[in-house]
Amino acid sequence: MFKILEKQTLAPKVEMMVIQAPYIARHAKVGNFIVLRLNKKGERIPLTIADSDRDKGTITILFQRVGKTTESLGMLNAGDKIQDVVGPLGHATPIEIYGNCVLVAGGIGAATLYPIIKALKAINTSHGVIKDKENVIARSPETPACRQTGRDDEAIPKDEIALLEPALSEKDEILRGVYPEQKDEILRFAQNDMRRAQNDRSEGARNDRKMAFSEQSYNHITVIMGARTKELLIWEDKFRQFADECFVTTDDGSYGRKGLVTDVLKEVVESKSIALAVAVGPVRMMKAVSELTKPYAVKTIVSLNPLMVEGTGMCGACRVKIAGETRFACIDGPEFDGHDVDFQELESRLRFYKEEEEQALHLFLTRTKRQVTSNG
């Protein structure tokens, strides 16, 4: 049994739960998911590991109450227990230094993208890069880019670096909770580099240092979040902690920019070279993103959500067609190259049991209402 330690409503019909699962927390990687079952006769459903804490032995999940099982799960509270939680499952997201990255979240898709943005930022830190929204501030001399230039250190000072402590304090906020064992060392390099920068004001030296950093030296992350309306937007504050740029769109214009995430994405890919795009959300949104990025030859990753039963590749329920070949989302994914996905087949398979799902939800809600009435 797995105990629910915390529950929070993030938006209408959208819940967050922190679950005690030490083994899963220790082994979870970015992009992994779990399969849970509420009771012995319950349905198995896959949910992304939105966050994890190895020290506390906890995992965080987000889910939308759209069917019988998610409605049942949403009725549980902190202190209640779940029968089975299996994981971590699926392939991990490939995390490396890409350069300019765009993460596109549609609704509950933010649950999958949150650990990805944390990891993309963390690898900057692990490579010795400390960066604010304008400049790379410092890099450890042990990083490949510094070794390639033959210099013993690399730094890009801001136009006017006058106050050292506030700058370091800002970087400390960026690094908090990300590679904590390396934080002191990285901050030491930052401190030394900024002190050198204060004594090196020649424009030629500044330009020479800036040349050492191409766009491929670190991950610059643009986040585009979309929802039907403002109240359905989730975790914007969390994404802004890590994003270099963050755009919000709503279908009704109640918050941010009125329109679709692809409207903003088109402007972004036309304004600069994008090395990686990751889209998670409704199938139609992921399809639209993939179609938009293809002419620009932007590597595009999507996280698929087909029907899934046991999560280990034995049942074949989660099969999807990728580049004309059958793949299982549970063991080959759930992330795939968006340009290779047969979205039409995916949408078709997701509708297979729509009528049965609606009937099951209706019966469940009717019985639940009767029980509440009789107990009232």
The residue among 177 and 326 whose pLDDT is bigger is 326
Query: How sure is the predictor about 188, in pLDDT bands with cuts at 50, 70 and 90?
Result: low
Q: Does residue 180 register a pLDDT over 90?
A: no
User: Vertex 201, ends 197 and 202: CA angle to 5°?
Assistant: 125
The pLDDT of residue 373 is: 58
| The two three-digit tokens of residue 344, written as one number | 């039409």
Mean pLDDT lowest for which of 17-31, 143-157, 302-316? 143-157
The pLDDT of residue 348 is: 87
Query: How sure is the predictor about 192, in pLDDT bands with cuts at 50, 70 and 90?
Result: low
The pLDDT of residue 184 is: 54
pLDDT tens-digit series, residues 117-129: 999 998 876 555 5
CA trace torsion 323, 324, 329, 332 (10° rounding)? -60
Please list, in sequence order, all residues whose beta carbon lies within 8 angstroms of the beta carbon of residue 311, skipping any fewer than 6 positions away.
33, 35, 44, 46, 86, 87, 89, 318, 330
The residue among 307 and 334 whose pLDDT is bigger is 334
pLDDT tens-digit series, residues 23-39: 999 999 999 999 999 99
The residue among 129 and 274 whose pLDDT is bigger is 274
Q: Does residue 281 register a pLDDT over 70?
A: yes
- How crowded is the C-beta side of 47, counted as CA atoms within 13 Å? 30
In the chain, beta strands by DSSP E: 2-11, 14-20, 33-37, 45-48, 51-53, 58-64, 81-82, 84-89, 100-106, 130-131, 136-139, 154-155, 220-227, 245-250, 257-258, 276-280, 299-303, 319-322, 325-328, 335-337
Q: Does residue 353 register a pLDDT over 60?
A: yes
The pLDDT of residue 214 is: 45
CB 261 within 8 A of CB 225: yes
Query: How sure is the predictor about 195, in pLDDT bands with cuts at 50, 70 and 90?
Result: low
Mean pLDDT lowest for which of 6-20, 40-54, 141-155, 193-207? 141-155
Q: Does residue 176 register a pLDDT over 90?
A: no
**CA-CA distance, 314 to 308, in Å (whole number)?**
11
Ordered domains of the chain (ranges, CATH):
2-91 (2.40.30.10), 93-127+218-303 (3.40.50.80), 136-210 (no CATH), 308-334+342-370 (no CATH)
**CA-CA distance, 109 to 67, in Å (whole number)?**
17
